[in-house]
């Protein structure tokens, strides 16, 4: 097991006073593990030097040891490597106090982080992370992208994980390189398989196909595992939406969220990586004592579908999908918190005053669930709710299971 080890020491302390303690710590670890690093961290220059000398991305676990208080600011920089982290604190020089602060910083960024205060606890934590290494690798090394901006009405959106940002200007460059003929051809089979077409025109399909191919090339060029796009900004610029493109990506196995929401994308990524299932990202449109109605203009093409326009704008190509009936889960993630509920998909709803795909879910005590949830957008996923909640807990989320 390869460990990256760093020590923190404040600018007020004398490093020589801690050299023996650090040396003994490293010597003991090296008897059982492959140890890299061992640097004293005080300021940004120290961090840059350590980063240049050791590739912490290749370590299995980081061991962060604040030898004194006042080291939180520099040691938090190691969160950039997104490795499982054990924070070692001892009872002196405000070491544990600094460790608690660091642990929460790492956890807020969904990096598994444990605080220990003795060698037995350290070894147990390291072996625990070793047992979970495959699961954690699949989660920690996801490459997410945001194209454009987070929609301004997502007032509770907070996202601390690293992601690749791609401007809409760059997206339009990709879009302009795709011809209308290429766009129509790209959607040929999808249009042919539709159960019906109501509003969209050939021009709409050409634009929708251009959007799909532009996004596909961005995913390839930026090596993205999934992405979210600030979709409403496209309407005024190119008179279309990415609703159909996102529906295709989600059916093809590439998680794709709308409105620039990254928390929804993260949930889609988890479900795809660990259960190989797509997710339907929906608005809560209505609810009763024991039901919730979700609606949105994009949904994975995993059932009979109709091609419509985007509801609010009347432009582009939206989808009305007959999602399968049966047991499923409803999930909402925001930051390190998650809510999960077991539901039953009981059928479609049809209203011209809602987004195109409308689905009715049976859920026990829907008002109670909605009172405790974390915001609007929810994911409908065809997985067992207890299995999903257990996985999210393993990954570091605080989960409320309804």
Quick: pLDDT tens for 285-341.
999 999 999 999 999 999 999 999 999 999 999 999 999 999 999 999 999 999 999
Instruction: For residue range 378-388, list pLDDT tens digits in order.
Output: 999 999 999 99
Closest-CA residue to 151 (of 376, 379, 381)? 376
Distance, CA of 44 to CA of 33 (rounded, Å): 27
pTM for the full model? 0.94
Query: Do 292 and 282 contact (CB within 8 A), yes or no?
Result: no
Q: What is the DSSP code (8-state) at residue 324?
A: P
Domains belonging to the chain, first-starting first, are: 2-138 (3.40.50.10940), 142-401 (no CATH)
What is the average pLDDT across 136-162?
96
Average per-residue pLDDT for the chain: 97
Q: How far is CA 127 from CA 1, 123, 124, 242, 397, in A?
A: 9, 6, 5, 45, 21
What's the pLDDT score for residue 384?
98
- Average pLDDT estimate for 256-269: 98
C-alpha span between 207 and 140 (Å, rounded): 35
pLDDT over 90 percentage in the chain: 100
By CB atoms closer than 10 A (0-12, 13-18, 19+), residue 82 is buried
Q: At 76, is the pLDDT very low, low, confident or very high (cuts 50, 70, 90)? A: very high
Query: How confident is the model at residue 73, as a pLDDT?
Result: 97
**Alpha-helical segments (H) within 43-118:** 44-53, 72-75, 95-108
Contact predicate 233/259, CB 8 Å: no
Residues 272, 278: Cα–Cα separation, whole Å: 6
The percent of residues above 70 in pLDDT, for the chain, comes to 100
């Amino acid at each position: 097991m390869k460990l990256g080890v760093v020590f923190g020491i404040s600018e007020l302390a004398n490093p020589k006073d801690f050299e023996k303690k650090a040396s003994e710590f490293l010597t003991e670890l090296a008897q059982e593990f492959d140890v890299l690093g061992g640097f004293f961290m005080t300021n940004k220059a120290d961090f840059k030097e350590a980063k240049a000398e050791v590739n912490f991305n290749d370590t299995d676990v980081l061991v962060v040891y604040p030898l004194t208080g006042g080291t939180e600011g520099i040691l938090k920089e190691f969160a950039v490597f997104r490795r499982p982290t054990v924070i070692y604190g001892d009872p002196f020089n405000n070491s544990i106090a600094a460790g608690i602060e660091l642990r929460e910083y790492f956890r807020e960024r969904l990096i598994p982080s444990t605080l220990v205060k003795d060698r037995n606890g350290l070894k147990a934590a390291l072996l625990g992370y070793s047992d979970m290494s495959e699961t954690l690798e699949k989660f920690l090394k996801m490459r997410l992208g945001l194209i454009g901006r987070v929609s301004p009405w997502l007032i509770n959106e907070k996202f601390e994980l690293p992601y690749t940002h791609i401007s809409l200007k760059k997206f339009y460059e990709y879009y302009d390189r795709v011809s209308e003929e290429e766009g129509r051809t790209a959607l040929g089979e999808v249009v042919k398989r539709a159960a019906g077409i109501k509003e969209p025109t050939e021009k709409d399909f050409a634009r929708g196909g251009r959007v799909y191919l532009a996004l596909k090339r961005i995913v390839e060029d930026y090596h993205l595992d999934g992405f979210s796009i600030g979709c409403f900004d496209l309407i005024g610029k190119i008179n279309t939406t990415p609703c159909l493109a996102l529906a295709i990506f989600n059916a093809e196995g590439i998680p794709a969220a709308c409105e620039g929401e990254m928390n929804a994308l993260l949930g889609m990524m988890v479900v795809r990586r660990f259960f190989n299932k797509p997710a339907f990202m929906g608005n809560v449109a209505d609810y009763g004592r024991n039901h919730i109605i979700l609606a949105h203009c994009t949904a994975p093409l995993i059932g009979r579908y109709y091609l419509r326009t985007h509801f609010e704008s009347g432009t582009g190509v939206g989808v009305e999908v007959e999602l399968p009936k049966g047991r499923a889960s409803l999930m909402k993630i925001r930051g390190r918190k998650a809510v999960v509920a077991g539901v039953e998909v009981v059928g479609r709803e049809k209203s011209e005053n809602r987004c195109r795909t409308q689905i009715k879910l049976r859920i026990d005590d829907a008002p109670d669930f909605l009172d405790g949830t974390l915001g609007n957008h929810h994911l409908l996923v065809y997985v067992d709710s207890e299995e999903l909640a257990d996985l999210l807990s393993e990954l570091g989320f605080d989960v409320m299971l309804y």
